[in-house]
Amino acid sequence: MIHDKRRFSVTLLALALAFAPHLPRVPLFVGVFVCAAWGYALGMQYRGWPVPSRWLRVILALCCLALVLFTHGRSFGRDAGVALLSLMLGLKAVESKSVRDMLALLFLAYFVVVTNVLYSQTLVMSAYMFFSVMAVTAALVHLHSGESRLLPDLRRGGLLLVQALPLALLLFVFFPRLQGALWGVHDERDEGVSGFSETLEPGSVASLSLSREVAFRVDFPGSIPDRDSLYWRGLVLDSFDGLTWSRDLPAEVTAPRGGALPEGGVPYTMTMEPHNREWVFALDLPVLAPRGTVLRSDQTLASLRMVRSRVRFELVSVPTPGSAPVPGPPWTALPDGGNPKARALATQWREAGLSSEGTVAAALEFFREGGFVYSLRPGAMDQDIVDQFLFATRLGYCEHYSSAMAFLLRAAGIPARVVVGYQGGEVNPMGGYLIVRQSDAHAWVEVWIDGRWLRVDPTSVVAPQRLVTGVETFVPQGRGVVLPEGVRALRKVGRFFQLGWDAANNSWNQWVLGFSHERQRGLWERLGLDPATRAGAGKLAVILAVGLCTVLGVVVGFMLRARRDRRDPVVSLYARFCRKLEKQGLPRGPAEGPRDFARRIGTLRPDLAQPVGDIAEGYMALRYSGRGDLAAFKRLIDEFMGRKN
């Protein structure tokens, strides 16, 4: 049947649309197999290629299973599942004969669309998923409509989707969310996530400086603070082993403080991209720990769960540090040997009787006057790296400056620590929020003076513009080529669209992807509902039921609305014809059918017999046989209405 061929092609097309985003993700052999199987299935439909025998299909299925197990082995998770699903799509297409098989294929296609979101949830991908849901729905409609044309079925598929959206949103908002997963989700995201590691060594921050990837976005309800005060603390490093700074001291957890906004506190919302660690970057200095996080004694925030997906936190920070207890000996500890020149310099300061502030000032002065150059490519250093940097190369990036500064201060007997995080950020004027990228990664020093840990940023004295314009100033720009004005303008336009796009993505992330258990609870509380109590749960159920009924009622009303404005064109054309005859004194009798009427006219007015007979035949064909040519009928009527008599 030609119709079945057509329907099969449409089914396969919808399937291919749903599968397309997976193609670059699945192993090559899977992609090749699926495409080949679909090609063969089309050949079966159009060229009459033979259906592969059952044992061949079984062997193929077993081979595919073995290959997937061989490729993915022990880590049978998302990737292996998708590979297996893809192979099933290929095999199922080859054995598809009946409408039921096509139905199964289309259900699988829906499933494929949903598996896509386990990989990507960007705005583009989401839009594409909605598009593919519509395509699969239209294919389902096509399977059931008996239409030969595709357009009405596409329209019906679109109508279903549009009508379903409000209902889906209602369920989305009110369907109770759980906290956490039902069972362990295999961690497959380690690769390809950029960001800090737990340690700081020369080169670890510089490697991030070229990445335009977004680390997090921040929304301030008030005005955005000045750029040079935007220090996002992530991790405090307390130990130095001669090469690497790391966090070795146990970080005590202070009780998470909730409650009122503290004096001078700046509230903001932070949306972090997944980095697979528990750190939460917060503006100097976080004071309240939101739900799901703890505040550590070094005033850094940590999430209770690894940040594996985009997550939102409502944070409050204060600009001035509070008092801290006298730090113990670990905060001045250094390795036993190495870096003699740096130690000598520190000893010199201590013997000169400088106070803590004086030592800090002397160190900053040393950096300012020492001919240091800020560079992203300082070259490799192997031994006594502090000495090499301070007295030989004098080329360095923020981690070199902060590492050396902390070393000097500790050597002078002053408690000091290295802080890694981000500095600055780009304001998106369209969204009114701040975008902080990996290239904003930074490291600085905190010194314990007068009962407080104060921030000191040695980089700022060497390269003050680093804090004002960001790291881009220092990124090598294709060997000093001056870009023509036109290209610069074009880049500006590009930048404009980039920021607009980021704003759209951010809204999507905030409103749809960021809708978590916590935010749902927040929304319910704002509506005066507490689902924990019986009354609250009852109210919630009532709201949900009323909402569902309203939406469904509107749809039913819309679907059942009798379209009086769209009268049958055949009837109205015929009525015009009868009215004209009536005006000429030839009214149609109340019980007179079109054939009898035409015959009577034919005898009364033989000159009209021919056109009237044709009209009666046309009318009867259209109205009673369901066949006939409406356009030809309309021409007949128009011709008749144009007659002089």
Partner 1 sequence: MVLPRFIRNLILARQRADLPLRLNRRRIYILPTRAGTVFAFFLLAMLIAAINYTNNLAFLLTFLLGSISILSAIHAYANLAGLEVEAGRLFPAYCLDDARLQLFFRAAGRERRRLCVRIGAAEAEFSLHAGAGLEMDLSVPTSKRGLLPLGQVVISTRYPLGLFRAWSPLVLPVTGLVYPRPLAVDRMDRHQLLGDGDEGGLGIVSQSGEFGGVRPYRPEDGMSRVSWKASARGAGLFSKEFRSGVARTLVFDWDEVRASGYEERISLLAGLVREAEREGISYGLRLPGLMIEPGSGAGQAHRCLEALALLPEGA
Of 59 and 556, CB closest to partner 1: 556
Stretch that binds partner 1, among 55-63, 106-114, 386-394, 487-495 (CB under 8 A): 106-114
Residue 520 as a binder of partner 1 (CB under 8 A): the answer is: no
Which of 81, 57, 58, 56 lies closest to 69, judged by CA? 81
- Is residue 69 near partner 1 by the rule CB under 8 A? no
Q: Which of 140, 218, 381, 412 binds partner 1 (CB under 8 A)?
A: 140
Interface with partner 1, residue 165, by CB under 8 A: yes
Which residue of 23, 58, 59, 117 would you call a contact of partner 1, by CB under 8 A? 117
Which residues face 583 on adjacent strands?
none
**Which residues inside 210-239 make contact with partner 1, applying CB under 8 A?**
none
**Residue 302 — φ and ψ, nearest 5°?**
-135, 135
Token pair belonging to 464: 């003050």
Among the residues of 146-294, which ranges form H helices?
A: 151-174
Q: Is 3 in the site for partner 1 (CB under 8 A)?
A: no
Tokens 């090469």 correspond to what residue?
A: 243
Q: In the set 29, 40, 111, 131, which binds partner 1 (CB under 8 A)?
A: 111
Q: How far is the CB of 139 from partner 1 (least distance, A)?
A: 10
Question: d(Cα 207, Cα 361) in Å, to the nearest integer?
Answer: 30
Among 49, 107, 496, 501, contact with partner 1 (rule: CB under 8 A): 107
Which listed range, 55-63, 192-200, 487-495, 509-517, lies at the site for partner 1 (CB under 8 A)?
509-517
Q: Which residue from 5, 23, 127, 147 is in contact with partner 1, where contact means CB under 8 A? A: 147
- The token pair at 83 is 């590979």
State the binding string over 584-603 for partner 1 (x if CB under 8 A, else -). Answer: ---------------x--x-
72 near partner 1 (CB under 8 A)? no
By the rule CB under 8 A, 332 interacts with partner 1: no
Count Cβ atoms below 10 Å from residue 358 Cβ, excluding itself: 13
Of these residues, 219, 238, 384, 457, which one is catalytic? 457
Choose between 81 and 265: whose C-beta lies nearer to partner 1: 81
Rounded distance between C-alpha atoms, residue 215 and residue 307, angstroms: 12
Whose Cβ is closer to partner 1: residue 59's or residue 171's? 171
Site for partner 1 contains 326 (CB under 8 A): no
Determine, following the binding rule CB under 8 A, whether residue 344 of this chain makes contact with partner 1. Answer: no
Q: Which residues of 176-208 are buried (b: 16+ CB within 10 A; e: fewer)?
A: eeeeeeeeeeeeeeeeeeebbeebbebebbbeb
Dihedral through CA 585, CA 587, CA 589, CA 590, nearest 10?
-140
In DSSP terms, 441 is beta-bridged to 422
Cβ closer to partner 1: 413 or 628? 628
The residue from 9, 163, 246, 428 that contacts partner 1 (CB under 8 A) is: 163
**What is the closest distance, in whole angstroms, from the C-beta atom of residue 93 to partner 1 in the complex?**
18
Q: x/- site string to partner 1, residues 619 to 638, per CB under 8 A?
A: ---xxxxx------------
Q: Which of 22, 153, 298, 398 is catalytic?
A: 398
Between CA 294 and CA 563 the distance in angstroms is: 62
| Closest distance to partner 1 from the beta carbon of 290 (Å) | 18
**8 Å CB contact between 291 and 276:** no
Q: Please tell me the distance from the alpha carbon of residue 370 to that of residue 357, in angstroms, as a whole number.
A: 19
Whichever of 60 and 103 has its CB closer to partner 1, that residue is 103
Q: What distance in Å separates the CA atoms of residue 451 and residue 266, rounded to the nearest whole number?
A: 23
Q: Can you tell me the distance from the alpha carbon of 430 to that of 447, in angstroms, rounded to the nearest whole number?
A: 38
Site string for partner 1, 381-420 (x = CB under 8 A): ----------------------------------------
One-letter amino acid at 248 equals: D
Least gap, CB of 92 to partner 1 (angstroms): 14
Query: Which of 281, 280, 272 lies closest to 309, judged by CA?
Result: 272
Q: Given the complex with partner 1, which of 118 and 333 has the nearer CB atom?
A: 118
**Min dist. Cβ of residue 64 to partner 1 (A):** 21
523: contact with partner 1 by CB under 8 A = no
* Touching partner 1, residues 524-583 (CB under 8 A): 552, 555-556, 559-563, 566-568, 570-571
Name which of 107 and 501 has its Cβ closer to partner 1.
107
- Based on the residue annotation, tell me whether 565 is a catalytic residue of this protein: no
Task: Give the Å distances, CA to CA, from 494 to 14, 19, 473, 476.
Answer: 34, 31, 19, 20
Q: Site for partner 1 (CB under 8 A): how many residues?
A: 70
Kindly state the smallest distance separating residue 231's Cβ from partner 1, in Å.
Answer: 31
In the beta sheet, which residues pair with residue 295? 254, 301
Burial code (b: 16+ CB inside 10 Å, e: under 16) for 506-535 equals bebbbeebbebebbbbeebeeeebebeeee
Which of these ranges, 89-97, 102-110, 371-379, 449-457, lies near partner 1 under the rule CB under 8 A? 102-110
Q: Give catalytic status of residue 442 as yes or no.
A: yes
Q: Which two tokens stand for residue 121?
A: 């949830």
Choice between 8 and 349, CB closer to partner 1: 8
- Phi, psi for residue 427 in degrees, rounded to 5: -80, 125
Strand, helix or coil at 12? helix
Give the separation between CA 311 and CA 487, rounded to whole angstroms: 37
β-sheet bridge partners, residue 323: 452
Least Å distance, CB 278 to partner 1, is 17
User: Applying CB under 8 A, does 331 fall inside the site for partner 1?
Assistant: no
Does residue 175 bind partner 1 (CB under 8 A)? yes
- Per the CB < 8 A criterion, the answer to whether 435 and 428 are in contact is yes
Residue with tokens 């070094």: 298
Active site residue 22: no
- Residues numbered 601 to 620 that lie near partner 1 (CB under 8 A) are 602, 609
Nearer to partner 1, 59 or 571 (CB): 571
Minimum separation from the CB atom of position 275 to partner 1 (A): 17
Min dist. Cβ of residue 288 to partner 1 (A): 24
Strand partners, 218: 270, 434
Work out how close the CB of 171 gets to partner 1 at its nearest, in angstroms, rounded to a whole number: 4
Query: What residue type is assigned to position 569 of the chain?
Result: P
Q: How far lies 462's CA from each of 227, 380, 386, 401, 484, in Å?
A: 18, 20, 16, 9, 31
Q: Contacting partner 1 (CB under 8 A), which of 3, 177, 488, 643?
A: 177
DSSP 571-606: HHHHHHHHHHHHHTT-PPPTT--HHHHHHHHHHH-G
Contact positions vs partner 1 (CB under 8 A): 100, 103-104, 107, 110-111, 113-114, 117-118, 121, 126, 129-130, 133, 137, 140-141, 143-147, 156-157, 160-161, 163-165, 167-169, 171-172, 175, 177-178, 180-183, 185, 309, 512-516, 552, 555-556, 559-563, 566-568, 570-571, 599, 602, 609, 622-626
- Indicate which residues carry an active-site annotation: 398, 442, 457
